[in-house]
Amino acid sequence: MSPFLNITIDGVDYIAIPKASFGSQPLDEEAFDVARYDRIKEQLASSEEELMPAAFADRIFDGESPLRVWREFRGLTLQSLAEKTDTSRAYLSEIENGHKDGSIRIMKRVADALNVGLDDIV
């Protein structure tokens, strides 16, 4: 019987080992890297994940509004996003500029319109 336990959490496969064995098992980093690479390729091919140019990602990392960055990445104006979400342009502008938080209901509509998860824009 293998000391490893294969588990899946939220669609992601993991391998668990007994704590006593941790550190005593040789780690095949190359095999791990190849498996991770293959999984990312599958996620990209199925549109489960997507790539964002570094220039956009850096803006989020630098503290810019994720909502603004995703909106601009999708090529939308505030007005067009407002129309897609049945929200006012002014309200979205206040959210982007940090003057309002935005209700969960509105933010969910915005996330859906941008085709991202809610956690990507808040």
Q: Given this model, what pLDDT does residue 97 score? A: 95
Q: Given this model, what pLDDT does residue 25 score? A: 54
Report how far apart, in Å, the C-alpha atoms of 37 and of each of 16, 44, 101, 102 are.
Answer: 20, 11, 36, 37
Q: Given this model, what pLDDT does residue 15 score? A: 81
Q: What is the pLDDT of residues 48-64, one digit of tens each?
A: 888 899 999 999 999 99
Shared domain check, 72 and 111 = yes
Name, in order, each residue with C-beta under 8 angstroms of 49's C-beta and a sequence gap of 6 or more: 40, 43
Shared domain check, 102 and 67 = yes
In CATH, what number is assigned to the domain containing residue 77? 1.10.260.40
Which residue, 56, 54, 66, is CA-closest to 116? 66
List strand residue ranges (DSSP E) for the chain, in order: 5-9, 12-16
Shared domain check, 80 and 101 = yes
- Where the chain has pLDDT below 50, the residues are none
Shared domain check, 31 and 58 = no
- Domain total in the chain: 2
